[in-house]
A and B are shown apart, each in its own frame.
Chain A
Amino acid sequence: MSPSLTFRTGVRDVLPTVFGYIGVGLAFGIVAHTSHLSLLVVAGLSFVVYAGSAQFIITSMLLLHDPLSAIFISTFLVNSRMILMSTSLAQYFKHESLTRNLLIGTLVTDETFALAMNKQNKTNGKLSFAWQSAANVVAYLVWGVSTVVGAILGGLIADPTRFGFDFALTAMFIGLVYLQLISDKHLGMTLQLSVMVFVALAYYFLIGVMSQNFALLVATVAGCLFGMELKKCR
């Protein structure tokens, strides 16, 4: 990843993550197809809601005829980590206009957030509207198109996991967390490793007693507080 922050570099930087979107997007389309959602609903979920894991949950809740209120609450809980990510990312765009901030915010995802955090390690903490928009828009389009293609292919492919594409997303987060670990000079390796171990342990114990989405959120917040205390002690 080069320090350049142009639109073109943004497109190039986001390309590795596109595999994750295609793999999971196709999977979502296929699941939606087997859950009897029409192409229009699949496209609506991907282009209007645009929230990977929440879309899977919404689909299964629609299938179970859960009440609207329950679907809304679940969506909020699953996406509440977006609040943390957006607050974190927004600091890099304070100098941009409000409109530009809102545009960037509209399309932030786990992946483009993680990518941006890796990028700013290379650029002395700078990000640009052009770079971030490129990453956001490419991710948005690839996701939407992949889910629709998945829904169309739904009837044709029996087992899409056979080729390992479902692992793309996990692999991508492994890559991003590793790159974050080695390149965040501000926090340093030891502190970050301690926080990672803390989060992994917290998550491991929490998923036995609460839903995965809630455990993700609690482990994240607890990890941040743990990191803050650890940094103060050293």
Chain B
Amino acid sequence: MSISLTELWVILGCGAITVLSRVLPFAFVKSLNMPAWLISFLSFVPITIMTALCCESLFVAHAGHLATLNVANCLAAIPATLAGVLTKSLLMVVVVGIMAMAVLRYFSIG
């Protein structure tokens, strides 16, 4: 159990940066009336951010070159998506996804 001065500063500094990024927008939105274009812009944030977060694990970046697919993740994504279509349950998507990945790893695929 030890902590260096640098580590302490990193925890406090990054903590402050993160909490401000999260909290300041709440203070702004509470006190200001947002213009219609901003509300329209924000209505697309959920679908765009979730798509981008999915892409983050489905593509592998290569600096200066085109990205490639993360084969294991893409393969496991298929049964996971099917589970979503069939059950519309988040829990089932996660459980089927984990099981699919465990099977892929067992057979060393991807």
Closest to B2 in A: A38
User: What is the number of residues of chain A that contact chain B, defined by CB distance less than 8 Å?
Assistant: 101
Hey, what's the 0/1 contact readout for A10-23 against B, CB within 8 Å counting as 1? 00000111011001
* Nearest CB on B from A38, distance (A): 5
Residue numbers in B under 8 Å from A228 (CB-CB)? 37, 40-41, 44
Check if A128 is an interface residue, CB within 8 A of chain B.
no
Query: 14 A-B residue contacts at CB 8 Å?
Result: A17-B90, A37-B7, A40-B1, A41-B7, A87-B29, A88-B43, A90-B30, A105-B23, A171-B94, A173-B53, A176-B90, A179-B84, A199-B51, A224-B42
- Could you tell me if A54 and B14 are in contact, using CB atoms closer than 8 angstroms? yes
* Nearest CB on B from A173, distance (A): 5
User: What is the number of residues of chain B that contact chain A, defined by CB distance less than 8 Å?
Assistant: 80
Hey, what's the 0/1 contact readout for A64-99 against B, CB within 8 Å counting as 1? 000010011001100111111111111101100010
Residue numbers in B under 8 Å from A3 (CB-CB)? none
> What are the 8 tightest A-B residue pairs by CB atom distance, in nearest-first order?
A171-B97, A164-B101, A175-B93, A223-B48, A164-B102, A90-B29, A86-B25, A167-B101
Report the bound CA distance from A219 to B54 in whole Å.
12
Report the bound CA distance from A174 to B45 in whole Å.
16
* Nearest CB on B from A185, distance (A): 12
- Could you tell me if A71 and B48 are in contact, using CB atoms closer than 8 angstroms? no
Residue numbers in A under 8 Å from B89 (CB-CB)? 16, 175
Residue numbers in A under 8 Å from B98 (CB-CB)? 19, 23, 163-165, 167-168, 171
- Could you tell me if B52 and A203 are in contact, using CB atoms closer than 8 angstroms? yes
Residue numbers in B under 8 Å from A178 (CB-CB)? 81, 84-85, 93
Report the bound CA distance from A171 to B89 in whole Å.
12
Which of A87, A192, A223 has the largest count of B CB atoms less than 10 A from its CB?
A87
User: Contact check: which of A81, A196, A207 meets B67 at CB < 8 Å?
Assistant: A207
Report the bound CA distance from A87 to B35 in whole Å.
13
Query: Contacts A16-B91, A170-B73 given: A114-B50 contact, CB under 8 Å?
Result: yes
Hey, what's the 0/1 contact readout for A155-171 against B, CB within 8 Å counting as 1? 00000011111111111
User: Contact check: which of B18, B24, B41, B50 meets A54 at CB < 8 Å?
Assistant: B18
* Nearest CB on A from B30, distance (A): 5
